[in-house]
């Protein structure tokens, strides 16, 4: 490896394993409680995410109250019924069979929010990309998700919720928006592939079709480096079925 700051091979393997084995969990939660010290580690990992202008726009609403969970589940059921109307025929039938949340099945729920006024009127680096605070909050979610996988804890992101209704249930201030509503818990297993892929909803796109050289649509043939990159990607992509 170039330089002296890389991890050992074993440490790198752990990082990549967490990335590739992370799953959006809906159906495999166990009732075992998450110890407070373990949740603290996950939240601290989230809190160490990068953020634009170091504004750290996130807050974490920890939910273990059964009544609050039931209110959120009711919001999901209403939004999910509305979303089902977007599909027809076999796609609609498949959509209705999918389990898309584990709100009451998981021992803990967590809402990661974004305070859109944190850092004041002018945040370094946010003058042109005003939604960079939301992107930063998503990075906190990813940090937590990978740390959770390393701890053997499953995470499920429930996105089929009306943000305004969720804000009302959680009593969020007007300046604070919900970014991710997460279900957390130990699981029976981590599935070998994403559940939506296993259920036939969508498959992972080959990475080779997502790369562009020096501009959108540019071929990866203009330099030896780009050619080597293309060859490496093609070697790693699964064959087209």
Tens digits of residue pLDDT in 190-213: 999 999 999 999 999 999 999 999
Residue 27 lies in a domain: yes
Residue 97 included in any domain? yes
Q: What's the pTM value of the predicted model, to 2 decimals?
A: 0.94
User: Whole domain around residue 108: which residue ranges?
Assistant: 10-203
Residue 157 is predicted with a pLDDT of 98
Is 227 in the same domain as 238? yes
Same domain, 185 and 97: yes
Whether residues 193 and 210 share a domain: the answer is no
Residues 109 and 209 occupy one common structural domain: no
DSSP letters, the chain, are --SS-PPPHHHHHHHHHHHHH--B-SS-B--PPPPHHHHHHHHHHHHTS--GGG---EEEEEE--HHHHHHHHHHHHHHHHHHHTT--HHHHHHHHH-----TTTSSEEEEEEEETTTT-S--TT-SS-TTHHHHHHHHHHHHHHHHHHHTTEEEEEE--S-HHHHHHHHT--TTEEEEEEEEEEEBS---SS-HHHHTTS--PPPGGGG--SSSTT--TTSSHHHHHHHHHHHHHSPPP-
Q: Are residues 113 and 229 located together in one domain of the fold?
A: no
Q: The CATH number of the domain where 97 resides is what?
A: 3.40.109.10
For residue 3, being part of any structural domain is answered with: no
- CA–CA distance from 58 to each of 26, 92, 131, 182, 213 (Å)? 24, 36, 13, 14, 35
Inside any domain, residue 111 = yes
Whether the CA torsion 14, 202, 111, 178 is positive or negative: it is positive
106 and 191 share a domain?
Answer: yes
For the chain, the domain total comes to 2
* 159 and 239 share one domain: no
Asked if residue 84 is part of any domain, the answer here is yes
Please indicate, yes or no, whether residues 27 and 85 belong to a single structural domain of this protein: yes
Q: Please tell me whether residues 179 and 236 are part of one structural domain.
A: no
**62 lies in the same domain as 95:** yes
Q: Do residues 143 and 238 share a domain?
A: no
pLDDT by 10s per residue, the chain, length 241: 566 899 999 999 999 999 999 999 999 999 999 999 999 999 999 999 999 999 999 999 999 999 999 999 999 999 999 999 999 999 999 999 999 999 999 999 999 999 999 999 999 999 999 999 999 999 999 999 999 999 999 999 999 999 999 999 999 999 999 999 999 999 999 999 999 999 999 999 999 999 999 999 999 988 999 999 999 999 998 876 5
Considering the domain boundaries, does residue 1 fall inside one? no
Q: Is residue 5 part of a domain?
A: no
């Amino acid at each position: 490896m170039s330089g002296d700051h890389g991890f050992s091979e074993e440490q790198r393997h752990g990082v990549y394993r967490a990335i590739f084995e992370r799953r959006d969990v809906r159906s495999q939660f166990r009732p075992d409680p998450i110890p407070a010290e373990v949740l603290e580690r996950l939240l601290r990992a989230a809190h160490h995410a990068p953020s634009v202008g170091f504004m750290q726009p996130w807050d974490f609403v920890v939910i273990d109250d059964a009544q609050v969970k039931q209110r959120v589940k009711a919001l999901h059921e209403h939004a999910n019924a509305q979303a089902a109307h977007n599909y027809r025929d076999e796609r609609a039938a498949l959509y209705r069979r999918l389990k898309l949340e584990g709100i009451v099945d998981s021992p803990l729920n967590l809402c990661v929010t974004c305070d859109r006024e944190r850092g004041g009127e002018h945040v370094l680096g946010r003058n042109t990309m005003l939604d960079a605070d939301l992107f930063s909050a998503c990075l906190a979610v990813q940090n937590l998700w990978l740390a959770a996988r390393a701890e053997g804890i499953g995470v499920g992101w429930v996105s089929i919720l009306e943000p305004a209704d969720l804000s009302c249930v959680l009593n969020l201030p007007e300046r604070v928006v919900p970014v991710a509503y997460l279900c957390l818990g130990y699981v029976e297993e981590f599935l070998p592939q994403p559940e939506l892929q296993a259920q036939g909803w969508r498959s992972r796109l080959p990475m080779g079709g997502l790369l562009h050289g020096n501009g959108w649509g540019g071929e990866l043939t203009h330099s030896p480096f780009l050619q080597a990159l293309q060859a490496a990607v093609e070697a790693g992509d699964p064959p087209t079925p």
